Amino acid sequence: MHNKGRMVVCDGGNGAGKSTVLKAIGAHLEALGRDFIMTREPGGTAIGEKIREILLSTDSSEMCDITELMLFAAARAQHVREKIIPAISAGKFVVSDRFDSATISFQHYARGLSLDLIRQINDIALGGFRPHVTIILDLDPLVGLERVQARGSLFDRMESQNIEFLYKARNGYLAQAHEDPEHFVVIDAAQPLEQVIAEAIQAVDKFMAQ
């Protein structure tokens, strides 16, 4: 087994079980004795967490699409340089709740911003870095919103968008996975949670063995 640093991302619609799957991946890595960090986007650093508050706050309803894109990129630029690259350089495994695939799904497929523009800004933010594998938890957005409501959570600014927006974002994740099967794993999040967790851990194990 390699002990070099790697990065795995867990992404997909809200309510798909990301938090639970991420906890299970963390517990699995701990059991294997792997040195790892858990992080999230937007956020992951003190600066990123402040940007997250602005991005997800329902008080930010007047935010224009370009501002949203630039703020996500700003948080990511700090995240990559301050936290992710140093961890990987130290041989740690990085596990992130969302990353760059979310920007392409939400800002291009759902918002309709130019893919070239998003890639240019994303490339600046990433500085040549890319995650090693992205696990997409795929779920019908209506089911996801029902799950969010059932657990009594309030909707953030992104969840408060119309359902058509959320369906477009879902299609964006699936399109990215279809275009780049080497770096994406799609898991049907409508399955029983135990099965979703098992498939996610299987994906992590396969990726660690490479």
- The pLDDT of residue 83 is above 80: yes
Residue-level pLDDT at 148? 84
- The pLDDT of residue 1 is above 50: no
Tell me the mean pLDDT in the region 24-47.
97
Residue 204, domain member (yes or no): yes
Instruction: Quick: pLDDT tens for 159-191.
Output: 667 889 999 999 999 999 999 999 999 999 999
Residue 1, domain member (yes or no): no
Mean pLDDT value across the chain: 93
Band of pLDDT at residue 157, cut at 50, 70 and 90:
low
Long-range contacts made by residues 18-23, C-beta under 8 angstroms, separation at least 24? 18/97, 18/98, 18/137, 19/97, 20/193, 20/197, 21/135, 21/137, 21/196, 21/197, 21/200, 22/95, 22/97
Q: Find the domain containing 31 and state its range.
A: 6-208
Specify the CATH number for the domain of residue 122.
3.40.50.300
* Number of domains making up the chain: 1
Q: pTM for the full model?
A: 0.92
Residue 97, domain member (yes or no): yes
Instruction: Quick: pLDDT tens for 13-22.
Output: 888 999 999 9
